[in-house]
Structure 1
Amino acid sequence: MSPAPDERERISAAMDRILGGTPQHSNGALTIVALAVEAGVPRSALTQRHTDLKAEFYDKVRARGATPDSERRLRQQVRKLKELRTADAQEIAQLRADVEALVGALHQATAENSHLRRQLVDRHAVVRVLPAQTPPGR
């Protein structure tokens, strides 16, 4: 399927309307998708056939001091991902500390258990059974 002969002109006109704040067929967002809708062409026309017009559109958006909506969304997503990464790093550090504490407690319990077993084997040792304790709140 070949492009329409007036495709470049329609894209240029759509670019002028969007940048002028008077879109007729799109939401006026500063994105390639909105430009394609405004021009009545498929998005691939800008991403494959007329990449120069796509670059020109983004250059004009940046020249106005505005950041394209797609770039703004990506920057926001990057910010969120960095925050999540920081939170994950903190959680991992806490989990590592917890593991070390649990390994220490397990080692201590194993040593105490071993000591008590040795006392049971030794007939002269006095081992007393403690009454069972109920957990608080029961």
Structure 2
Amino acid sequence: MPVSAATATKLREAMARLLAGEPLHTNGALTKENLAREAQVSHATVHRAEEILAEWDAKVARPVLRTPGEVQRDETIADLRKQLREAKAQVTVVQGKLDALATVTANLYAENQSLKKKADGRRRVVALPVQED
């Protein structure tokens, strides 16, 4: 279902403002979401306006350029995410070892308790020979 003439006019005016770098209702990023916000229509309405979307794609089909600061920020974020993944992997390994040690400790404790009970039944007081000097 195509959009009305009034909506098409809103979208074209919004597109012109965004492409000119003079947005009224958005941060100026060249996205379809911002096109909808700038025209003050729904996102679904933008996608029904196929002819206008084709114009948008033809005009905005260039790659988004990032500033050196943005590039450095993105590289830092990627590096930090890598470090986080590695740290999580190390934590998983250490947690596995800790779980294994807890299991061994619990088994040794149970065995020790069992041996103490057995030993209690066999305890006898025996006098040891006294050595005289």
> Which TM-score band applies after superposition, normalised by the shorter structure?
0.5 to 0.7
Higher relative contact order (CA 8 A, sep 6+): 2
Show CA shifts across 1:43-86 (max 9, x none).
Answer: 22113x125644653564440x217xxxxxxxx8xx68877665
Unmatched 5+ stretches in structure 2? 66-73, 127-133
Q: C-alpha separation between the residues in 2 aligned to 1:59 and 1:83?
A: 40
What's 1:45 paired with? Answer: 45
Q: C-alpha separation between the residues in 1 aligned to 2:124 and 2:100?
A: 37
What's 1:72 paired with? Answer: none
Offset at 1:121? 1.2
What's 1:129 paired with? Answer: none
Unmatched 5+ stretches in structure 1? 68-75, 127-138
Q: C-alpha separation between the residues in 2 aligned to 1:39 and 1:17?
A: 10
Q: C-alpha separation between the residues in 2 aligned to 1:102 and 1:20?
A: 66
Q: C-alpha separation between the residues in 1 aligned to 2:34 and 2:13?
A: 13
Q: C-alpha separation between the residues in 2 aligned to 1:91 and 1:51?
A: 51
CA contact (8 A) 1:119 1:125 kept: no
Provide the TM-score with structure 2 as the length reference. 0.60
Answering whether residue 118 of structure 2 is matched by residue 118 of structure 1, we say yes
Q: What SS is found at the alignment partner of 2:23?
A: coil
**Greater C-alpha radius of gyration:** 2
What's 2:31 paired with? Answer: 31
Structure in which a larger fraction of residues adopt helix: 2
CA contact (8 A) 2:3 2:49 kept: no
Over aligned residues, Cα RMSD in angstroms? 3.5
Aligned length: 113
Over the matched positions of the two proteins, sequence identity in percent amounts to 27
Cα distance change, pair 36–82 in 1 and its aligned pair in 2 (3 A): farther
Show CA shifts across 1:14-64 (max 9, x none).
Answer: 2232122112343323333321122232222113x125644653564440x
Q: C-alpha separation between the residues in 2 aligned to 1:59 and 1:39?
A: 19
Q: C-alpha separation between the residues in 2 aligned to 1:55 and 1:13?
A: 15
Residues 69-84 of structure 1 mapped to structure 2, 5 A cutoff: none
Answering whether residue 74 of structure 2 is matched by residue 57 of structure 1, we say no
